[in-house]
Amino acid sequence: MESPSSVNHELILPLRCQVLEDFFFTVLMATVDVDQKFLGQSAKRTGSDNPFLSSVLYKVLGLSVLLTKKLVRARKLRRLDTTRDTKSLQLYHHIIWLSRECLVLVEQYILPMVADYVELKVLAYKLRASLYHNYVLYHNQPSINRTAIPSYTATSNKGKAPERSSLRSSPVFNDSIEGGPVRNQSSLPPGLTPISIPKPSASFLLPATDYIPTASSCFTMAAALADELLPGSHPLRLSVKLEYAAYLYDCLHDGDASRSLARQSIRDVYEAQEGMDDDMFEDAAFLVGYLGKMMKRGLSASGTSGSTPRNGSVATPSTPRARDIPYSDNRIPPAIPNPGTQNPI
């Protein structure tokens, strides 16, 4: 029997990363449950005065349920080895496609019609932030971790295919010289066929770009609306703050801002004076429990903050912090699909 000192410590880090990813996924599922509950209630309440809005809300609810199942399946595929990309690219493509279709409905049909509502307005802006959150997790360029869809762009590392620009053109000869060498019609050396470097595998669904500034701006606006329109103990407000804190920690890698947001959200709950029914109280208590865990996430046993894990990726100075991104709703581009793409809904 091996002694405790002979344990392979190289197995501890992957196990710890798996626990962190499982916690992050549990937080997302907790917010999704609350969002879907309020989404169904809003769709039912608006059925009499605005049937069109109600029908769109029901469509978004159905797509959200399908998207949740795909997210659960994608998480299970990565459970054993969190440092490897899943081979099921079709599953990732389905996640991006469902997120895109939901975002089209939210931005083009729901947001213009929720100005006279309170809970539904906060929910709509929170849904938009959550869908851009999926873009950052699974389709961001550059990728925030190693769990996104693989990108097939060539690098200059040893053993990798050279970039197309590194191939030098053949020398150009003067045709006026009689008896000169035969001119090569292409810019490539003789015998070498043109090489086309493929784009990221999901670029046919969505442009491969940096969605972090857009997602951060959406979360900032959703949090501001929740603070303005909802009491501190409202489950929908807590759902916004919980996913925002998870986004700060896992996507922006800002552990201090994430813990500060969770701490302030819990303080707002205890300072709230508004009453609530039993159902809302259970949801609020459920979310406060996860906010308490987020408040301690990344802290060592002594209570000091450690480095925020990046799931195997290296921190880059260009990654923006939440406080460095200005709040502006005009800078958010609409989620319009490519021309020729038909919305099946």
- Residue 276 pLDDT class (50, 70, 90 cuts): confident
What percentage of the chain reaches a pLDDT higher than 70? 60
What token pair was written down for 63? 């797509």
User: pLDDT (tens digit, 9 = 90+) per residue, 96-138?
Assistant: 999 999 999 999 999 999 999 999 999 999 999 999 999 998 8
Q: Nearest to residue 91, comparing CAs of 151, 18, 149, 156?
A: 149
Q: Nearest to residue 98, comparing CAs of 68, 73, 142?
A: 68
pLDDT of residue 326: 47
In terms of pLDDT, which residue wins out, 192 or 115? Answer: 115
Contact predicate 83/22, CB 8 Å: no
pLDDT(221) > 90: yes
Q: Which of 77-81, 87-91, 259-263, 311-315 has the highest mean pLDDT?
A: 259-263
Compute the C-alpha angle 204/208/214, nearest 5°: 125
- Residue 194 pLDDT class (50, 70, 90 cuts): low
β-partners of residue 305 are: 299
User: pLDDT (tens digit, 9 = 90+) per residue, 203-218?
Assistant: 788 888 899 999 999 9
Output DSSP code: residue 108. I
pLDDT of residue 211: 95
User: pLDDT (tens digit, 9 = 90+) per residue, 233-247?
Assistant: 999 999 999 999 999
pLDDT(169) > 60: no
pLDDT of residue 49: 92
pLDDT(13) > 60: no
pLDDT(2) > 90: no
**CA-to-CA distance for 168 and 289, rounded, in angstroms?**
60
pTM of model > 0.85: no
- Weakest-pLDDT range from 53-62, 63-72, 76-85, 214-223: 76-85
Q: Which whole number is the average pLDDT over 168-190? A: 51
pLDDT of residue 31: 85
User: pLDDT (tens digit, 9 = 90+) per residue, 280-339?
Assistant: 889 999 999 999 989 988 886 656 655 455 444 434 334 445 445 444 444 455 554 554
pLDDT of residue 55: 96
